[in-house]
C-alpha cells in the first residue's frame, strides 16, 4: 500500500458559551476552535482521517499550511504502515510543529486499523480497560456561578471537576472553596493554573490557602521550563503537582522526571506529536513511578476518538482524563457521536479510529467566523 495524497483543511467549530460568555481561562477566551482536518489517501482506496487541534497561538491556518507545504511531501509515495519511519521523515522535514504531525499520524493509524480490520487501541497494545473516567473543566467566572456549574456537572455523572484559576489569589481561593462546597467531599476537585502564577512563592502561598478544600492536584502552576521552580513548589505543598505544558515530547518527560518536577504528567496526543510518542511518554513515566492522564485542547470528535483509543490501552492511566473535548463544542462533526455518558468515555469499536466525518458539518465549519 502507498500514500497517494495528503489533504488538509481549516475548520472553525463553535464553542459552547459558559456563564453567558465565551469560555475564558488564563490562556485566553474562545468563541470557536480553529483546528485542521487531514485526509490521507492510498492506492488501495483507504482514506485515513486525522485532526490538528491546538489551543495555543499556532492554530489551524498556519498548521494546515505546514502540512501542505512541508509535511505532506514527506509522506506521499510511502507505506502508511511504517508509522515510526514516517515520523522521522516528518521530523527531518520540519522541526517542531508536533500538533500538525499528530494529526497526520492519527490518520496513519486510522488507515492501518482499517486495513487490518481492527480498532486503533489494538495497535497500541490492546484494551486494559473498557472506558475512561472523565474530568470536566470549569472556566473563569463569578465564583458562585462556577460552583453552580460544578453542581450541574456532578449531576451529569462527572466525578472530577477542574477549576481554572490564575486570576488574583483571593478570587481563585474563593472559587475553589465554593466549588468544593457545591460538590461535596466525594467529588474530586482539581485546580489548573495554566502557567499563570508568577513565582514559586506566589504559587505556594495560594496552594496552601486552597489546601483546606482538599484539591486533588494542582496543574501547571508555573511556565513550562521552570522545572526547578516546579520542584520547589512540589517540595513545599501537600497537594500533588501535575505538569502539562512542561511535557510535549518524551524528551520533555525525561527532563521532568530527572528534575523531580512533577507527581503526575498530563499527556496530550497533540502536544506529543501523535499516539506513538504519547504512548512512549506513558511508558517512561510508568518506569519512574509517575501516573499520567490525558489532556484536551479541546478536540473535535476525531481527536477525541484518538485520545480514547490511547487511554483504554495505557496501563499507566491514573487520574481522570479530559478526553471529552466534543462536549465543549456546540456541535460535532461526526456522523455518529462518540459514546460519552455518566462521566465516562467509551472507545469506538469500528476499524481504525472507528469514526465517520459528516462532511456537511465540515462544509459549514469552513466559513471563518
| Strands of 3-14's sheet in order across | 3-14, 32-42, 47-52
Cβ(138)–Cβ(160) below 8 Å: no
- Count of residues making up the chain: 369
In the block, residue with C-alpha cell 490538528: 52
pLDDT tens for each residue of the chain, 369 residues long: 999 999 999 999 999 988 888 787 877 777 899 999 999 999 999 999 999 998 876 788 999 999 999 999 999 999 999 999 999 999 999 998 999 999 999 999 999 999 999 999 999 999 999 999 999 999 999 999 999 999 999 999 999 999 999 999 999 999 999 999 999 999 999 999 999 999 999 999 999 999 999 999 999 999 999 999 999 999 999 999 999 999 999 999 999 999 999 999 999 999 999 999 999 999 999 999 999 999 999 999 999 999 999 999 999 999 999 999 999 999 999 999 999 999 999 999 999 999 999 999 999 999 988
Cβ burial 17-27 (10 Å sphere, 16+ → b, else e): ebbeeebbbbb
For the chain, helix (H) and strand (E) counts, in that order, are 14, 15
* DSSP label of 349: -
The closest of 365, 369, 312 to 338, measured between CA atoms, is: 312
Burial of 71 (0-12, 13-18, 19+ CB in 10 A): buried
Full set of structural domains in the chain with CATH: 3-121+358-365 (3.30.390.10), 123-345 (3.20.20.120)
Amino acid at each position: 500500500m502507498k500514500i497517494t495524497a495528503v489533504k488538509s483543511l481549516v475548520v472553525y467549530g463553535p464553542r459552547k458559551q459558559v456563564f453567558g460568555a465565551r469560555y475564558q481561562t488564563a490562556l485566553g477566551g474562545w468563541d470557536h476552535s480553529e483546528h485542521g482536518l487531514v485526509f490521507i489517501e492510498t492506492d488501495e482506496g483507504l482514506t485515513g482521517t486525522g485532526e490538528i487541534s491546538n489551543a495555543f497561538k499556532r492554530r489551524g491556518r498556519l498548521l494546515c499550511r505546514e502540512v501542505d507545504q512541508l509535511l505532506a511531501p514527506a509522506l506521499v509515495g510511502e507505506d502508511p504502515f511504517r508509522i515510526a519511519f514516517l515520523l522521522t521523515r516528518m521530523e527531518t522535514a520540519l522541526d517542531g510543529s508536533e500538533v500538525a504531525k499528530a494529526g497526520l499520524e492519527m490518520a496513519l493509524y486510522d488507515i492501518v486499523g482499517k486495513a487490518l480490520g481492527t480498532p486503533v487501541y489494538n495497535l497500541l497494545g490492546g484494551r486494559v480497560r473498557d472506558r475512561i473516567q472523565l474530568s470536566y473543566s470549569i472556566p473563569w467566572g463569578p465564583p458562585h456561578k462556577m460552583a453552580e456549574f460544578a453542581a450541574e456537572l456532578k449531576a451529569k455523572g462527572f466525578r472530577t471537576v477542574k477549576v481554572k484559576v490564575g486570576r488574583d489569589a483571593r478570587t481563585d481561593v474563593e472559587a475553589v472553596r465554593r466549588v468544593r462546597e457545591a460538590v461535596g467531599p466525594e467529588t474530586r476537585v482539581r485546580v489548573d493554573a495554566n502557567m499563570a502564577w508568577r513565582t514559586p512563592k506566589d504559587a505556594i502561598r495560594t496552594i496552601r490557602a486552597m489546601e483546606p478544600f482538599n484539591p486533588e492536584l494542582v496543574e501547571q502552576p508555573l511556565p513550562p521550563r521552570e522545572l526547578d521552580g516546579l520542584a520547589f513548589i512540589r517540595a513545599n505543598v501537600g497537594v500533588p503537582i501535575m505538569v502539562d505544558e512542561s511535557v510535549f515530547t518524551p524528551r520533555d518527560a525525561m527532563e521532568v522526571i530527572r528534575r523531580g518536577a512533577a507527581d503526575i504528567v498530563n499527556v496530550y496526543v497533540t502536544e506529543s506529536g501523535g499516539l506513538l510518542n504519547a504512548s512512549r511518554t506513558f511508558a517512561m513515566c510508568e518506569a519512574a513511578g509517575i501516573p499520567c492522564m490525558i489532556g484536551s485542547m479541546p478536540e473535535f470528535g476525531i481527536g477525541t476518538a484518538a485520545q480514547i483509543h490511547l487511554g483504554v490501552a495505557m496501563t499507566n492511566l491514573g487520574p481522570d482524563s479530559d478526553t471529552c473535548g466534543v462536549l465543549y463544542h456546540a456541535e460535532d462533526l461526526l456522523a455518529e457521536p462518540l459514546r460519552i455518558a455518566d462521566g465516562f468515555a467509551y472507545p469506538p469499536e469500528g476499524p481504525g479510529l472507528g469514526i465517520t466525518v459528516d462532511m456537511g458539518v465540515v462544509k459549514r465549519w469552513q466559513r471563518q467566523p
